[in-house]
Structure 1
Amino acid sequence: MPPTRPSPPRHPSTSPCCANAPSARASPTPGRTARRARRCCARCSRPCSPARGFRVQSWAGTNLLGGGDGATLADPEAVRSKLVSKNRGLHALVGDDVVAPLHIDNVPDLGDVKTAWDHVSATGFLGSRVTLQTTWSAYDSALAAPLVIDLVRSLSLATRAGHAGVVAALGCFFKDPWGSDVHAFGEQTAQYVSWVHDTAAAVAAARVAAP
């Protein structure tokens, strides 16, 4: 049998063995494909639609990026994995019946500046057409840095608390969280804040009780 082509480092396997492996090493893990600010905007805007009587009909998105990410995602297999992850989270929010074409294009001269565009089509009062368009442009590394810092601190807290395997409460950091089917950012954030408070309190109590 020919050797299997390895996946790019930023797009690990979603197989159950990958998610379950950390429990054998007694280390915590939260999910895959980090969620940066642009995707948070999408997650936050979705719950507003039914509250205002809007029904989303389609949600199209395009990402333009260069640098290392752009080169990696120029590979058809790598971009396929990325799009599957993006679509899974989006459909969890807007429903499987919503048309959601997504595209990622490598534009080398953009370097580390990522540009993301979304076009949301919905129906509102008396069936009137409503369109929302958003454009996000920023240095990708600057978006990822604070997320990575908070995630490392959270994993350190989980380790000190003795947590092993999937930590579902850290799902707010990821487009494809493990251990939870919740994709609404507000609900994820509430779960995360509650987990931080409870876990930090448990760690502090254990430190006080230690001889």
Structure 2
Amino acid sequence: MTTTFLETEHPRAATGVFVEKSQSAPELAGLAAAPATRSEQARAALRTYTDNTRRPFEDLPASSDRGFAGKPDAARVAALATAEGMQGIVSEDGNDGVEDHHLVVLARVDDDGISHTVEVPFRTPAGQAPDATTVLDALLSDSAGLNDVDDVEEWADQYGYDMEGEAAQVTASYEAVLEQDAKLRAFLGEKHDEYLWGDQ
């Protein structure tokens, strides 16, 4: 059974699983077209990803005028992602008649030149494609919802979920958000709190 939540209250990616992968930046020394910027390095990591999965992906726009009304500051998230040269790709995963389902892959290059990718299932209203900032903002908003929460009951109370009537579904969503938060922390590394709260 799937429950539909409003975009402003739902931990958007709680229904899916995503994986963080780290790898050294591609060894391109001596090649004339070696990526020079973080953006180009992140794009190279995404090319490697698509070559390995052989799945049809399209470039993901960096941002749009649609923001996610979550807890992180969307302008700060967008500025940090741009400064880090974050890139994204998206592939269609179907439509349930109400929402479009996507598989989104984000890539970033950290200060040590190591590329990191993370893939996440993501839903948008039918006919609307996601953008990198909106996806990242939604994931960070889910992480913010875990702040000062010690257990599933506190988390459910914060979102107004019914633990008596839907305990199994709420618990599964909470566990998915915990897993998602761990993967997001691995993806963003030491920049996680800066993205989320502006801490440096």
TM bucket by the smaller chain?
under 0.3
**Structure-1-length-normalised TM-score:** 0.27
Give the TM-score of the pair, scaled to structure 2: 0.27
Structure number with bigger Rg: 1
